[in-house]
Amino acid sequence: MPAPLDFDVRVRTPTGPLARAVEGVWHVRGTVPYARERIAPTGSTVAVIILGDPIRQIADDGAGRSLASTTGLLIGPHDRPIVNEPLGETHVVVVVTTPVGAGPALGVTPAAHRRSVDPLLPAWRPARRLRDRLLSDTDPEQRLDLVVDHLDANLDLAVPGLERCERAVALLEAQPTRPVSAVAAAVGVSPAQLGRDFARVVGLSPRVLARLLRVRRLLEDIDGRGSVDWGGRAAELGWYDQSHLIRDFRRHTGVTPSAYLAAQRLYGPLDDDAGSAGFVPEP
């Protein structure tokens, strides 16, 4: 049997205005007992500040650009998995934006990084100084305080179309199968205008984000170590049938539902409370 995952994971969930732009800030340290993993997309932009050994990531389910870094990675909004390959101990601070948060939180244009993994320091200018400060303090909780305080102090919610996109995202989160035309009407614009807003603010189309949100809900709801009624889940979440669910699941995670469950059972979740759904270890 493989060794169990042994990670120190701390998660800070922002409150107040920052919660509109940032889902969470993670401090993660540990060594995985496998070679690499797929990480399913969430509709977010992710900034990874590396404090330890290098990490290699490959976009587009391993078919895209491969980038190894000792300092940091920026994962743009993507609709297929990222392949994550730690080259030693994983020791990182990670900022996960909301679907609309790349601009307000990081000053990053999400469309410029769509389906790509890029060096963090050139893309997020404060990252270099922030990383230096993180390296000078070894306490994980103080590191999280530092990052959250920085994000809070530099938050810029004056992004054209932000509120409209937020409302549309909330509607899709509540009902991912809702037609884009109905979402656009509910927020008072045409489907074409909503598509343009999403391209600029989210970096993905409303239709693609809806698919990601639906599979993400499925991954968060299922017990990776138990049995799953896939046909029942397909009906509950609005897939036409089980084969349609499997097609979307594979596009989202890179593996079939049975392979996903096998990986979850083999290694167990990174942390039951840390939102580890969507991680697919590979021996």
Q: Which pLDDT tens digit goes with each residue over 223-272?
A: 767 788 888 888 888 888 888 999 999 999 999 999 998 888 887 655 44
| Main-chain dihedrals φ then ψ at residue 125, nearest 5 degrees | -60, -40
Q: Over the chain, what is the mean pLDDT?
A: 92
The tens digit of pLDDT for each residue in 188-203 reads: 999 999 999 999 999 9
The pLDDT of residue 21 is above 90: yes
Residue type, 65: R
Side-by-side strand order, sheet with 22-31: 6-12, 22-31, 90-97, 46-50, 72-75, 117-119
In 3D space, the residue among 29, 38, 33, 160 whose CA is nearest the CA of residue 94 turns out to be: 29
Look up residue 19 and give its two tokens: 């919660």
Q: Please, which pLDDT band fits residue 185 given cuts at 50, 70 and 90? A: very high
